Structure 1
Amino acid sequence: MKLKKKVKTHFTFVSKADMDTPGLMEPQNGCKDKSVNVFGSGNISMDVHTKRMGYMQGEALRVTAEVSNHSTRSAKPKFILYEKKSFFAQGHQSVSKKIILKEKSEAVASSAKETVTKVFSIPTELPPSILNCSIIKLEYKLRICLDVKFASNPEIKLPIVILPSFEVPAMKPPAAVGFGFNAFEDSDQAPCNTASQAQAAPQEVDPPPSYEVYSMYPSEYTSAL
């Protein structure tokens, strides 16, 4: 009777970039309004913009948030880029989240309106998004929220798709093949002597005589031939 054995191993799954994702290169926008009722009054609104949804590894992600604070409380904008991993197997789902980047801005005072801009540098080692697999999904989201004391924080979530960067190293063209000084521009070897090249060059040969001229040659010459 053979004993059953269990083997466990880790592997890295790399998904092919799905360039057919709808809205991949379109601008992203989100709006949110919040009323302050506890320990204050008024209304806070936030309008968030990004250039597009898809970004390559190592690319800069620029986020602009327009905050209008018409309340009696201050509001501090926070920008968070996080990943969401989902695993699906036998009807079960496992989800985990992890913060990748986090930035804070100065608080927007009461009865003020400001435009806040943050630029994230996407890590080059960040794995690309996985959106076309039935058992694994790797998503990225940009979360923008306003930290308001003694009130629930309004927030906006925008999807971000990380694409693999295709970097092809620049190739130097081969040296030109030819004669003369141009063929030795990128070489340490000194050019050859042009005089010797001129001597070694083949000389032009006169064409053979015609039949009429050949018949006029002396008989001794023809007999020698």
Structure 2
Amino acid sequence: MGKPTRFKLILNDEKTVYFPGNMISGQLVIELDNPMEMEAIAIKFIGQAYVHWTGQQSSGGPSAIENLFYHEDIVPGKSDDNQTSLAKGHHVFPFQYKLPEPLPSSYEDLIGYIRYFVKATIVKPGMFDQNTVRAFTILDSLDLNAIPDAMRPCGGQESKQLCYLCCKSGPIEMEFHTDRSGYVPGEYILLNGTITNSSNTKVEGSSVQLIKRVTYHAMYNSKIVILEVARINGPPVPKHGSITWTNERLRIPPLPPSEINHCKIIDIVYFVQFQAHLRAFATDPRINCRITIGTIPLRNLPLYRNAGTSKIVTGPQTQHIATDIDSATDVLSTQQKSLQPPPLSYAESEDKHLFNINDEDGNEHSMGETSFKPQYTYYAWKESAFTHF
């Protein structure tokens, strides 16, 4: 009875990013060197969230599953004797499915995921089933223009008093702020801050980090994971000295939007953290300010407002920045042309891990993709565009 020489799911136009409510369509391709007996071919459309972390008990730790959608089509249909045969040669089975809405954005991590995929199964009588999987990304739109405080800078102040041999030293004082609170991946965060060291010891260094805080929920338990996703380092601060950060730029890599909506077991928030690094075994003073990472940028920014005839199109199927540069050639100044926004693109997560999407079928009876990284909204701005306006 053998197995196919080719068993593959192909998405139309090789599309990899979808929005809730989109139609997903494609073809299942099967090639056989010999006829194959089977009970049915099933094509399944699956959306699922899952979390699990290791506990100290023998049960293996908390876990949770949230089923987001499930739809199954059976082709070519069962015969009267509950068995059919697929002839030798090339076979193509088209498929399509309208994604429900709302849906949370795709996410992959070592502890949990929000995953979407098409899975085809050849059901064989009395034998192992043959499977193939094709994963894809779903993005839930988060429009920064609908967030009241997205244009407002975030930041704060912090002071730490050092003590040595029961003698108080002068304080280390910090002040820090960002240019706003709402960003999309590909933009740069403008950073301004000062560290004043009135103590009798050197501050070993300074840094700004973009922090992703993920909260996983399972079985009345929660687990918080703090991940650094971007960083820039600053100079040390001598005793009785100070340093100033002026319009330093921190690029936002491809990331899922803040606070994944429509998912009960995974939450994501982002912070920018300004930190003074002290000697070993001392607690570093730091300032945390919460920001929002969205998928649709702020229209009031000079980066987009001065972009000639460009406009932001926010419909879920056509969400991109459309630009008619040719018709504006005689109107735009050289400076305006240089501010044309980059077109919306999608970029893979910069996480170093490739995530196994074949865990349940990871054996010789599985074909197709075995690993996957989701893709996220990304505007490929150059750093030079982010000067102080």
The answer to whether the 8 Å contact 1:30/1:47 transfers is yes
- 1:47 is matched with 175
Deviation by residue 1:130-166 (Cα, 9 ceiling, x = unmatched): 2544513211111111111153211111112111145
Matches within 5 A, 1:121-200: 121-123=251-253, 125-130=254-259, 132-133=261-262, 135=264, 136-150=266-280, 151-165=282-296, 167-171=320-324
Partners of 1:43 and 1:66 in 2: how far apart?
14
The answer to whether 1:26 aligns with 2:145 is: no
Partners of 2:194 and 2:261 in 1: how far apart?
34
- 2:240 is matched with 111
Flag the 1:82–1:29 CA change in 2: closer, same or farther, 3 A.
closer
Matches within 5 A, 1:65-76: 65-75=193-203, 76=205
The answer to whether the 8 Å contact 2:155/2:288 transfers is no
The answer to whether the 8 Å contact 1:49/1:64 transfers is yes
- 2:32 is matched with none
TM-score, length of structure 2 as denominator length: 0.39
Q: Kindly name which structure, 1 or 2, has the bigger radius of gyration based on alpha carbons.
A: 1
TM-score, length of structure 1 as denominator length: 0.64
Shift of 1:13: 5.3
Deviation by residue 1:32-54 (Cα, 9 ceiling, x = unmatched): 00011036721110000111110
Taking CA–CA contacts closer than 8 Å with sequence separation of 6 or more, which of the two structures ends up with the larger relative contact order?
1
- 1:200 is matched with none
The answer to whether 1:61 aligns with 2:214 is: no
- 1:15 is matched with 140
Flag the 1:56–1:16 CA change in 2: closer, same or farther, 3 A.
same
Q: Which moved more, 1:28-37 or 1:82-91?
A: 82-91
The answer to whether the 8 Å contact 1:48/1:63 transfers is yes
Q: 1:80 aligns with which of 184, 197, 209?
A: 209
Identical columns (%): 23
Partners of 1:95 and 1:152 in 2: how far apart?
21
Q: Report SS of the residue matched to 2:321.
A: coil
Partners of 2:223 and 2:163 in 1: how far apart?
37
The answer to whether the 8 Å contact 1:82/1:142 transfers is yes
Flag the 1:148–1:94 CA change in 2: closer, same or farther, 3 A.
closer
Flag the 1:59–1:130 CA change in 2: closer, same or farther, 3 A.
same
Relative to its length, the structure with more strand (as a share) is 2
- 2:39 is matched with none
Deviation by residue 1:146-191 (Cα, 9 ceiling, x = unmatched): 1111532111111121111453232467xxxxxxxxxxxxxxxxxx
Q: Which moved more, 1:112-121 or 1:126-135?
A: 126-135
Q: Which moved more, 1:158-167 or 1:15-24?
A: 15-24
List gaps (5 residues or longer) in structure 2: 1-45, 49-114, 117-136, 297-311, 313-319, 328-389
The answer to whether the 8 Å contact 2:156/2:287 transfers is yes
The answer to whether the 8 Å contact 1:15/1:130 transfers is no
Q: Report SS of the residue matched to 2:163.
A: coil
Q: 1:35 aligns with which of 151, 155, 161?
A: 161
Q: Report SS of the residue matched to 2:322.
A: coil
